[in-house]
Every structure is written in structure tokens, then in C-alpha cells.
Structure 1
Amino acid sequence: MSEALVAAEAAGAGVEPVPGASGARQFWRRLRTQRAALVAAAVVALLVLVALAAPLLTALEGQDPTTYHPSLVDSARGGVPIGSFGGISGDHWLGVEPQTGRDLFARLAYGARVSLAVALAATTVQVLLGVVVGVAAALGNRWVDQLLSRAADIIVAMPLMIMALALLAIVPSSFPRPVLVALIIGFVAWGTIAKIVRAQTLTLKELDYVAAARLSGWSTWRIARRELLPGLAAPVITYAALMVPANIAIEAALSFLGVGVKPPTPSWGQMLTSANVWYQAAPQYLLLPAGALFVTVLALTVLGDGVRTALDPRAASRLRVGTGSKREAKAAAEKDVQSDVQSKVVQSKVVPSKVVQSKEVQSKEVQS
């Protein structure tokens, strides 16, 4: 609620305003009831830890993602790794890459850094652009609203992959590729969040605490910063949590098509591009990056859905249903059964008493 409105009500009542419960505490209480979201959060935390500690882990293994090991591949068979399971050994925990002999564990760990960093950077650009455009459209005059809304519609209607492919193809290769991929994804895909922010801002503008702030003489910027942005936090965080796995998939698709992250920088999509001809001779070279990509996208999607449910106050009554907790469902069923039994017992007691009363009345009438 607006600070001006809270102060006015407190002054009129002669008491100090009592702060409500912590929003972060409520969010955590709702989130921890969702077991799938907690498992997904643990998986995401593990992936982030592997990405951050990639130099330490590869140093512990004694390898790096760019060094070639031609002695570990069989050139007579076209470069197939020597040894069982793709050359897995104490020096190479997940085997080596066909033809080059580069360490797969090191490339997967460093590929996680690239995929997560590109996705988070692209999501940040999308959120910043979407919030600025959406709030400006909702608070501006009719012409500003029409101009920004039509721009958002055009961005939403544009085919993302085609636009990204075109822009990546014309940019010089000297530009850092991960940064370029993140910027292009962010600048091409901000339209949807801008429309969401605009619609939510138009709703918040009509609330009493925003009107009280406006009557108090606050500027438009101060109202947007102090009153509107806190109200926009839940939908923006919800949509951002769902955009991260989508951006990871987009980066992998661009790298798979050969216009994303370029060698020697490791990327999961780039590894899939090289592995599509080795799926029979060295299946682990295809399965490992594909599995890592699948697990990451799935975990982030489940976590994003859990964040959406935890941030939506209207979903509080649906949390017990969504958790799959048999104990809570059984308790609710037993409570319903007990209430039915009690109601039947009460009815069974009331009906005989009424019958007895009616017989007494009839006997009195006969006697009279």
C-alpha cells in the first residue's frame, strides 16, 4: 500500500501502522510445499555450482576443454575414442571427444557456464526492455501507448529463430559470440513481457493506493518506482523464471545450426552439432550434452512453474492439490467422512424426538 495512504490512515486512527508478514517468508512457505519445485531447485543449484566451479573441477581432473589428445582416438576407424565407453578412465571421467580427443567432462562443465550465462543475460535484457516499455506505455498518453504497444506487437509477431539467424549471420566474427547471442535473444524477444507489464500496470493504476500517491503530489516516476514496480515484481519474476529455460533451448538451437557460439568455446548445442554423425560409433558424445540440456531445461521449467504458483496468492488453496501429498489428501477425506457421520447422527437423534412429540400431542387431543 502507498506510504502516503498508510500514513494518512495511521494519523486518522491515532496509531502506528502495523507491518504485514514478510513477502519473502510467505513465498518460501508456499514454495517448500511443492516437492517437485524443491527437487528442481536442487538440480538447478547443482548445475550452477558445476558451472561456477568448472575451472576447479577440470583442474582436479587434470584436463581442460581445448587440449587435443590425438593418441586417445583411433585414426584408422575415423577418430573413434580408444577404450570402452568412449575412453572413460581415471584421467578422463566421461571419456573423450571423437576425432579430437578433447575431454568431455571439461567441455560439458564449461558448456554449462556458456549456456547458463547466455540464458541469464538474455533474460535480463528481455526483462529490462519489457518493463521499461510496458510501464512507459501504460503511464504515457494515448499516442505513446499506441506507439509502444504496436512496437511490442511487431516484436511478438516476428519469428525469433529467423531474426536471430539473420542478425548472427551479418555480425563480424570478431565480436564475442556468447555476448552477441545473449544480446540478440534479448532484443528480439522482449515483446511478450512488455505486453504483460503494460496490462498489469493499467490494472494497478486504478487502485486506491496509487490514487492516494497521485493526490499527494508524487511525480509519475516516483509513483512508478515506489508503487507500481513492487506490484509488478510477481508477474515479472514469474515470467522471467519461465524464460530462462526457453533461452537455453534457443542458444542450443542456434549453436546447433552453426551460428551461435563458435569453437573452441564449448557449448552444448555446438557439441550436439558435432555429435550427430557419431551417435552410432560414440553414442555418449551425443547422449551426454543432450541429457545435460534436457535435465537443465526440465528443472528450470519445473522451478519456474513452482515460482509462479508460490507468487500467485490465489494459488494458495491449490497448493495442497499440486503437491501430491497423500497424507494431506487422506486427512481431508477423513474430515469429510467424520462430518458426514456427525450430520447423520444428529439427524437420527432429531427425527425420533419429533415422532415422540407428535404422538404426545395426538394423545392430548384425544383425551380432550
Structure 2
Amino acid sequence: MSEALVAVETAGADTAAPAASGARQFWRRLRAQRAALVAAAVVALLVLIALGAPLLTALEGQDPTTYHPSLIDSARGGVPIGSFGGIGADHWLGVEPQTGRDMFARLVYGARVSLGVALAATAVQVVLGVAMGVASGLGSRWADLVLSRITDIFVSMPLMVMALALLAIVPDGFPRPVLVALIISLVSGWSTTAKMVRAQTLTLKNLDYVAASRLSGWSTWRTAVRELLPGLAAPVITYAALLIPSNISAEAALSFLGVGVKPPTPSWGQMLTSADVWYQAAPQYLLLPAAALFVTVFALTVLGDGVRVALDPRAASRLRIGTGRRREARADKAAPKAGTAATATPATATSANVTAAKKEDRA
């Protein structure tokens, strides 16, 4: 028993260098994907904008909640005065119809809400899903049965219907962004993560190094932390990267329906809710938050796909953008041509021999 424990600990110490090498290989594969690098730069820029929202609005000299009634034309129903929605040196992206609130300030503070809710919901989904999946995969048959049935119930729950019902009964005094993040994370996402982690756990626990750790007397908790979690890191990180854009879309949809983040807290979905009647008189009020949502979700989706390919190089990318496949296709087309050229000489020689033989027969 003690010899097996020493062997397992020695094997764990020997895997420290390959782990570091695996991290270097991941970054090398990720850098090879130009689309993923551009998406990562866009996501990093959005995060910096969200974190630096107070500084950016201070540079502009505005805030997201102050009304400017002098900048709207009440005779025309509250349309901003000036061209392009009142864009100028004091208001970089114009002002909001009817209220005159600064659009730039509301957009950058809306990024804080949208990204914050999505990241918080993703963190809860990953933690809860990994815990349930590992417990189901390593537990007894009855524990696996009960946890699997609970997971199936949450998988079948419709997110929007449950979110609308829960948000309607919670008191208004509860912080709305926190509530939206909790509802998104607890109703959906974690159950699919749990099913994926359970399947991976059932596969990994039959491997030799996991069986050796269990036979050496390690507890279930120590086996899960030391042996299973490193093997689960790649699929969990990949799935988490793809959960973030779906959570942003869910928060925007709830705010658009009027049950998400409440005014005066700015949110991109909330801005779209009040902009649907202004798309003709003030189109920038609709286009700016819609463009911000599109760019954020698209960049996160491309980045998530790049992370998936970098962690599993055998998998083909679903998005054929910036992965060098055109160069590979041209190389594949050039290879048969070279082979044909190489085999042309023997074929020509054979034809010449046949022609010469026919001439000799005629002679």
C-alpha cells in the first residue's frame, strides 16, 4: 500500500514539467489562429472599457444618469437636437431621446453590467456543474441515479419562463444584476456542464493512474482534486468559454423583456427596450447597443471556438476563419500535380517504346 502511494506521488511529481509544456502548446496553438487572436483583443478591449468606465466618463465629463432636457427637442417628441443624435465634443456618441442622458456613458456602464452578469453566472455554472458531475461520477449507484435525475429536471426547464416567474416574485430591493446572474446560472447552464463532467469522470476514473490513487487509500475528495480535475480542465474551460456569450444574450433578453436590470442602471438590453420606438427618428439609439451586443457575442464565440481547437487540436474548427485552411487546400491541390509530373516521364517512355516496336514490325 505504501509503495503504491509513493509510486503515485512520484508520477504526480513527474507530470509537473509536461503540464507546463502543455500550457506552452496551448498558447502556441491559440496564437496560430488569427481569428482567435483578434477576438481575444476585442474581448480584452471590452473588459478594459467595462473596468475603466468611471475613468472614461470622467474624461468625457458626463455620467450615465444625469438628464439634459436642453439637448432634446420637446416639440418633436424628445428627439435629440443636432445631427447624429447630438454628437459633439461634450457628448461623444450623442444623447438619449426624451431624457438627454449621455449615450457613451450609458454604453460603457452597460458593458460593466452585461459582462459582469455573464461572467458571474458562468462562474456559478462551472462550479456547480463540476461539483455535481464529479459527485455523480465518483459516487455510488444510488447517488449517481439521484443526481442524474435532478440534472435532467434542470436541463428540461425553459430558461425564459422560469426567469420571468422568479424575477416577478423577488422584491425590488434585491440587487437586480446579482439576481439576474443567480437566476441565469441556477436555472440553466450548470446542468449541461454537470452532464458533460459526469461523462468525462466516468471515463477518467477507469484509467490506471486514477485507479492506483484509489487503491492506495486516497479519499474520494483527494482523488478528484489531484487526479480528475486536471483531466477535466480542458473540456470545462472550453465549455465555459462558450457559455459566456449565451449568458450575455440571456441577460440582454431579460432586460429587453423588462424583467432584468431596472433603470437607472444602464444595460444594453434595457437600452434596446426603450429604443424600439426610436429607430426612425433616432436610429443611433438602437444601433449602438445592438452593435455592442453583436460585437461582444461574436468575439466571445470566436474566442471560445479558438480555445476549443487549441485545447483539442484534433477537432476541426466550426468557424473557418483565420485558420490557414486556404493555404492547406492550395498545398493539397499542388501535391497531385507534382505527382502527375513525376509519373509523366515513365508513361511517355512506355508509349515511345510501343511506337518503336510497331515500326520494327512494319519494317
With structure 1 as the length reference, what TM-score do the two structures score?
0.88
Q: Is 1:310–1:316's contact at 8 Å kept on the other side of the alignment?
A: no
Question: In the alignment, residue 34 of structure 1 is paired with which amino acid?
Answer: Q
Q: Share of identical aligned residues, percent?
A: 77
* Alignment match, 1:294: 294
Superposed displacement of residue 326, structure 1:
3.6
| Distance apart, 1:344 and its partner CA | 5.0
Q: Secondary structure at the match of 2:315?
A: helix
Q: Are residues 86 and 137 of structure 1, via their aligned partners in 2, closer, same or farther at CA, if it must alter by over 3 Å?
A: same
Asked if structure 1 preserves the Cα contact closer than 8 Å seen for 2:302 and 2:319, the reply is: no
Structure 2 counterpart of 1:359: none
Q: Which residue of 2 aligns with 1:56?
A: 55
1:40 aligns with 2:31: no
**Residue number in structure 2 paired with 1:83:** 82
1:131 aligns to 2:134 (yes or no): no
In structure 2, the partner of 1:7 is 10
Quote the Cα distance in structure 2 between the aligned partners of 1:49 and 1:272. 23
- Partners of 1:321 and 1:271 in 2: CA distance: 31
Tell me, in whole angstroms, the C-alpha distance in 2 between the residues paired with 1:18 and 1:245: 33
1:55-204 counterparts in 2 under 5 A? 55-189=54-188, 190-204=190-204
**Closer/same/farther in 2, CA of residues 259 and 71 from structure 1, 3 Å limit:** same
Deviation at 1:334, TM superposition (A): 2.9
Q: 1:331 matched to which residue of 2?
A: 331
Q: Residue in 1 aligned with 2:239?
A: 239
Given that residues 305 and 318 in structure 2 are in contact (C-alpha distance below 8 angstroms), is that contact kept between their aligned partners in structure 1?
no
Runs of 5+ consecutive residues of structure 2 not aligned to the other structure: 355-363
Structure 1 residue 332: deviation in Å?
A: 4.0
For residues 25-47 of structure 1, the C-alpha deviation after alignment (integer angstroms, 9 at most, x for no partner) is: 11111112222211111111111
Return the letter of the residue paired with 2:115: L
Q: How many residues matched?
A: 348
Contact 1:4 1:213 in 2 (8 A): no
State whether residues 61 and 91 of structure 1, in contact with CA within 8 Å, keep that contact through their aligned partners in structure 2: yes
Rounded Cα–Cα distance in structure 2 between residues aligned with 1:59 and 1:71:
21
Task: Tell me the SS of whatever aligns to 2:314.
Answer: helix
Residues 178-327 of structure 1 aligned to structure 2 (within 5 Å): 178-189=177-188, 190-315=190-315, 323-327=323-327
Root-mean-square deviation (Å): 2.7
The CA distance in 2 between the partners of 1:139 and 1:150, in whole Å, is: 16
Change (3 A) 1:174 1:327: same
**Distance change >3 Å, CA 316–CA 185, structure 1 → 2:** closer
- Structure-2 change in CA distance of 1:75 and 1:3 (3 Å): farther
Q: How does 1:334-353 map to 2 (within 5 A)?
A: 334-345=334-345
Once the two structures are TM-superposed, the CA of residue 7 in structure 1 deviates from its matched residue by: 3.1
Shift, 1:320, TM fit: 9.7
Conserved 8 A contact 2:73-2:79: yes
2:109 partner SS: helix
Per the alignment, in what secondary structure is the counterpart of residue 184 of structure 2? helix
Give the letter for the 2:79 counterpart.
V
In structure 2, C-alpha distance between the alignment counterparts of 1:64 and 1:144, rounded to whole Å: 53
Residues 133, 124 of structure 1: CA spacing in aligned structure 2 closer, same or farther, 3 A cutoff?
same
Provide, for residues 83-136 of structure 1, a one-character-per-residue CA deviation record: whole Å limited to 9, x for no partner.
Answer: 010000110000000011000000000000000000000000100110000000
Change (3 A) 1:244 1:321: closer
Query: Higher mean Cα deviation, 159-168 or 316-325?
Result: 316-325
Alpha carbons 1:73, 1:98 under 8 Å: kept: yes
Structure 2: which amino acid aligns with 1:305? D
Alignment correspondent of 1:361? none
Q: Which runs of 5+ in 1 are unaligned?
A: 11-15, 356-368
Following the alignment from structure 2 to structure 1, what is the Cα–Cα distance between the partners of residues 221 and 96? Answer: 55
Residues of 1 paired with 2:55 and 2:214: CA distance?
54
Judge conservation of contact 2:35–2:321 (CA < 8 Å) in 1: no
How far has the Cα of 1:336 moved from its partner?
4.1
Task: Call closer, same or farther: CA 1:228–1:70 in 2, change over 3 Å.
Answer: same
Deviations 1:182-239 (A, max 9, x none): 0111111111000000001000011111112222222111110011001111111111
Letter aligned with residue 7 of structure 1: T
1:323 alignment partner, SS class = coil
- 2:305/2:317 contact within 8 Å kept: no
